[in-house]
Protein backbone atom coordinates (compact mmCIF):
# COMPACT_ATOMS: atom_id res chain seq x y z
CA UNK A 1 0.00 0.00 0.00
CA UNK A 2 1.17 3.57 -0.68
CA UNK A 3 0.17 6.99 0.65
CA UNK A 4 -0.06 10.15 -1.51
CA UNK A 5 -1.12 13.33 0.29
CA UNK A 6 -4.13 12.31 2.44
CA UNK A 7 -5.10 9.13 0.53
CA UNK A 8 -4.06 5.50 0.46
CA UNK A 9 -3.73 3.41 -2.69
CA UNK A 10 -3.44 -0.34 -3.26
CA UNK A 11 -1.60 -2.16 -6.11
CA UNK A 12 -3.92 -2.60 -9.11
CA UNK A 13 -2.14 -3.14 -12.46
CA UNK A 14 1.42 -4.47 -12.66
CA UNK A 15 4.19 -3.15 -14.91
CA UNK A 16 3.99 -6.47 -16.80
CA UNK A 17 0.27 -6.04 -17.56
CA UNK A 18 0.88 -2.46 -18.72
CA UNK A 19 3.63 -3.74 -20.97
CA UNK A 20 1.31 -6.30 -22.57
CA UNK A 21 -1.39 -3.68 -23.12
CA UNK A 22 1.10 -1.35 -24.83
CA UNK A 23 2.29 -4.16 -27.09
CA UNK A 24 -1.34 -4.86 -28.04
CA UNK A 25 -1.90 -1.17 -28.90
CA UNK A 26 1.29 -0.96 -30.97
CA UNK A 27 0.43 -4.10 -32.93
CA UNK A 28 -2.98 -2.73 -33.90
CA UNK A 29 -1.80 0.79 -34.74
CA UNK A 30 1.18 -0.49 -36.75
CA UNK A 31 -1.09 -2.69 -38.87
CA UNK A 32 -3.38 0.28 -39.64
CA UNK A 33 -0.62 2.74 -40.56
CA UNK A 34 1.88 0.66 -42.52
CA UNK A 35 1.40 2.86 -45.61
CA UNK A 36 1.66 6.36 -44.17
CA UNK A 37 3.43 8.47 -41.57
CA UNK A 38 1.04 9.17 -38.70
CA UNK A 39 1.47 12.01 -36.22
CA UNK A 40 1.14 10.85 -32.64
CA UNK A 41 -0.05 13.58 -30.28
CA UNK A 42 0.50 12.86 -26.61
CA UNK A 43 -1.78 14.59 -24.11
CA UNK A 44 0.33 16.03 -21.31
CA UNK A 45 0.96 15.62 -18.49
CA UNK A 46 -0.44 12.14 -17.92
CA UNK A 47 0.45 10.52 -21.25
CA UNK A 48 4.23 11.04 -21.14
CA UNK A 49 5.01 7.45 -20.06
CA UNK A 50 2.63 5.72 -22.44
CA UNK A 51 3.86 7.85 -25.36
CA UNK A 52 7.47 6.96 -24.56
CA UNK A 53 6.87 3.22 -24.18
CA UNK A 54 4.52 3.03 -27.15
CA UNK A 55 6.83 4.89 -29.54
CA UNK A 56 9.89 2.88 -28.54
CA UNK A 57 8.06 -0.12 -29.92
CA UNK A 58 6.54 1.53 -32.98
CA UNK A 59 9.11 0.68 -35.63
CA UNK A 60 7.57 2.33 -38.74
CA UNK A 61 8.09 6.00 -39.67
CA UNK A 62 6.06 8.36 -37.48
CA UNK A 63 6.11 11.82 -35.94
CA UNK A 64 5.35 12.83 -32.37
CA UNK A 65 4.16 16.01 -30.73
CA UNK A 66 2.42 17.00 -27.50
CA UNK A 67 -0.52 19.06 -26.37
CA UNK A 68 -1.34 19.98 -22.81
CA UNK A 69 -4.89 19.75 -21.50
CA UNK A 70 -6.29 19.74 -17.98
CA UNK A 71 -9.76 18.94 -16.67
CA UNK A 72 -9.07 17.24 -13.38
CA UNK A 73 -9.11 18.74 -9.92
CA UNK A 74 -8.11 16.40 -7.11
CA UNK A 75 -9.83 13.08 -7.80
CA UNK A 76 -12.73 14.18 -10.02
CA UNK A 77 -13.16 15.40 -13.59
CA UNK A 78 -14.56 18.86 -14.29
CA UNK A 79 -16.65 19.92 -17.31
CA UNK A 80 -14.24 22.64 -18.32
CA UNK A 81 -11.20 21.42 -20.26
CA UNK A 82 -8.36 23.90 -20.50
CA UNK A 83 -5.72 23.93 -23.20
CA UNK A 84 -2.46 24.79 -21.51
CA UNK A 85 0.01 24.20 -24.33
CA UNK A 86 -1.03 24.31 -27.97
CA UNK A 87 -0.03 22.77 -31.26
CA UNK A 88 2.60 24.52 -33.32
CA UNK A 89 2.65 22.26 -36.33
CA UNK A 90 0.68 22.18 -39.59
CA UNK A 91 -1.46 19.04 -39.50
CA UNK A 92 -3.44 19.64 -42.70
CA UNK A 93 -4.09 16.34 -44.45
CA UNK A 94 -2.30 14.29 -41.78
CA UNK A 95 -3.49 11.25 -39.87
CA UNK A 96 -3.47 12.16 -36.21
CA UNK A 97 -3.52 9.61 -33.41
CA UNK A 98 -4.07 11.20 -30.02
CA UNK A 99 -2.47 9.24 -27.20
CA UNK A 100 -4.16 9.46 -23.82
CA UNK A 101 -3.19 7.89 -20.52
CA UNK A 102 -6.83 7.45 -19.53
CA UNK A 103 -10.30 8.30 -20.81
CA UNK A 104 -12.78 9.00 -18.02
CA UNK A 105 -15.84 11.19 -18.83
CA UNK A 106 -14.49 11.89 -22.33
CA UNK A 107 -14.69 15.68 -21.90
CA UNK A 108 -11.02 16.02 -22.82
CA UNK A 109 -11.52 13.94 -25.98
CA UNK A 110 -14.45 16.05 -27.13
CA UNK A 111 -12.38 19.21 -26.66
CA UNK A 112 -9.52 17.61 -28.59
CA UNK A 113 -11.75 16.49 -31.44
CA UNK A 114 -13.11 20.04 -31.83
CA UNK A 115 -9.56 21.37 -31.86
CA UNK A 116 -8.34 18.95 -34.54
CA UNK A 117 -11.39 19.55 -36.71
CA UNK A 118 -10.14 23.12 -37.14
CA UNK A 119 -6.76 21.76 -38.28
CA UNK A 120 -8.31 19.99 -41.31
CA UNK A 121 -6.62 16.69 -40.49
CA UNK A 122 -7.17 13.71 -42.77
CA UNK A 123 -8.13 11.46 -39.89
CA UNK A 124 -8.48 11.77 -36.12
CA UNK A 125 -8.03 8.63 -34.02
CA UNK A 126 -7.84 8.06 -30.32
CA UNK A 127 -5.60 5.62 -28.47
CA UNK A 128 -5.79 5.28 -24.71
CA UNK A 129 -4.01 2.99 -22.29
CA UNK A 130 -6.85 3.00 -19.74
CA UNK A 131 -10.58 3.44 -20.25
CA UNK A 132 -13.37 3.76 -17.67
CA UNK A 133 -16.49 2.66 -19.64
CA UNK A 134 -18.84 3.37 -16.70
CA UNK A 135 -17.73 7.00 -16.57
CA UNK A 136 -17.70 7.66 -20.33
CA UNK A 137 -20.46 10.09 -21.37
CA UNK A 138 -19.79 10.55 -25.11
CA UNK A 139 -20.79 8.97 -28.42
CA UNK A 140 -17.32 9.44 -29.88
CA UNK A 141 -15.82 5.98 -30.50
CA UNK A 142 -12.41 5.21 -29.00
CA UNK A 143 -10.30 3.55 -31.66
CA UNK A 144 -7.61 1.83 -29.59
CA UNK A 145 -8.15 0.80 -25.96
CA UNK A 146 -5.47 -0.83 -23.81
CA UNK A 147 -7.20 -1.85 -20.55
CA UNK A 148 -10.82 -1.28 -19.45
CA UNK A 149 -11.02 -0.47 -15.75
CA UNK A 150 -13.82 0.18 -13.21
CA UNK A 151 -14.84 3.74 -12.36
CA UNK A 152 -12.35 4.20 -9.54
CA UNK A 153 -9.51 6.68 -9.20
CA UNK A 154 -6.05 5.36 -10.09
CA UNK A 155 -2.47 6.69 -9.94
CA UNK A 156 0.91 5.69 -11.36
CA UNK A 157 2.44 5.27 -14.82
CA UNK A 158 1.96 8.97 -15.58
CA UNK A 159 -1.30 9.42 -13.66
CA UNK A 160 -1.30 11.62 -10.57
CA UNK A 161 -3.24 12.56 -7.50
CA UNK A 162 -2.68 16.31 -7.12
CA UNK A 163 0.78 16.08 -8.65
CA UNK A 164 2.00 12.93 -6.93
CA UNK A 165 2.33 9.36 -8.21
CA UNK A 166 3.25 9.96 -11.86
CA UNK A 167 6.65 8.33 -11.43
CA UNK A 168 5.33 4.96 -10.24
CA UNK A 169 6.01 2.20 -12.83
CA UNK A 170 2.81 0.33 -11.89
CA UNK A 171 -0.78 1.45 -11.27
CA UNK A 172 -2.47 1.80 -7.88
CA UNK A 173 -6.17 2.17 -7.06
CA UNK A 174 -7.72 4.39 -4.41
CA UNK A 175 -8.35 2.31 -1.28
CA UNK A 176 -12.01 2.04 -0.15
P1 LIG B 1 -11.89 13.11 -18.90
O2 LIG B 1 -11.83 14.45 -19.58
O3 LIG B 1 -12.89 13.06 -17.79
O4 LIG B 1 -12.05 11.94 -19.85
O5 LIG B 1 -10.53 12.92 -18.14
C6 LIG B 1 -9.37 12.77 -18.80
C7 LIG B 1 -8.15 13.17 -17.99
O8 LIG B 1 -8.41 13.22 -16.57
C9 LIG B 1 -7.09 12.13 -18.18
O10 LIG B 1 -6.30 12.40 -19.30
C11 LIG B 1 -6.33 12.21 -16.88
O12 LIG B 1 -5.35 13.20 -16.96
C13 LIG B 1 -7.37 12.59 -15.86
N14 LIG B 1 -7.90 11.38 -15.14
C15 LIG B 1 -9.03 10.71 -15.42
N16 LIG B 1 -9.21 9.65 -14.60
C17 LIG B 1 -8.12 9.65 -13.77
C18 LIG B 1 -7.70 8.76 -12.70
O19 LIG B 1 -8.34 7.77 -12.33
N20 LIG B 1 -6.51 9.10 -12.11
C21 LIG B 1 -5.76 10.18 -12.48
N22 LIG B 1 -6.12 11.02 -13.47
C23 LIG B 1 -7.29 10.75 -14.12
MG1 LIG C 1 -4.53 13.21 -19.35
**Per-domain residue ranges of the chain:** 2-170
**Residue 83: band (very low, low, confident or very high) from pLDDT cuts 50, 70, 90:** low
| Exposed e or buried b per residue across 143-174, where buried means at least 16 C-beta atoms within 10 angstroms of its C-beta | bbbbbebeeebbbbbbbbbeeebbebeebbbb
How are strands ordered across the β-sheet holding 154-155? 2-4, 7-13, 171-174, 154-155
Q: Does CATH place domain 2-170 in 3.40.50.2020?
A: yes
> Which runs of E-coded beta strand occur in 132-169?
144-148, 154-155
Say whether pLDDT at 165 is over 90: yes
Please give the distance, rounded to the nearest whole angstrom, from the Cα atom of residue 166 to the centre of ligand 1: 13
What is the spatial distance between Cα 10 and Cα 171, in angstroms, rounded to a whole number? Answer: 9
Pocket residues: Cβ below 6 A from ligand 1: 43, 46, 71-72, 77, 100-108, 153-155, 159
Nearest to 99 by CA among 168, 24, 49: 49
The per-residue pLDDT of the chain, averaged, comes to 92
What is the spatial distance between Cα 155 and Cα 74, in angstroms, rounded to a whole number? Answer: 12
Give the number of the ligand closest to the Cα of residue 105.
1
Pick the residue whose CA is nearest to atom 20 on ligand 1: 154
Q: 70 versus 176: which is more confidently predicted?
A: 176
The reported pTM is 0.93
pLDDT (average), residues 80-101: 82
Amino acid sequence: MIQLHDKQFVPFISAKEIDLAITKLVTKISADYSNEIPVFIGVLNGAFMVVSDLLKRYSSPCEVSFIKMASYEGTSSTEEVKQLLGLNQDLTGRSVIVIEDIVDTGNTLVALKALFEKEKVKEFKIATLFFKPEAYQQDLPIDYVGIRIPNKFIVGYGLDYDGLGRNLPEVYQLKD
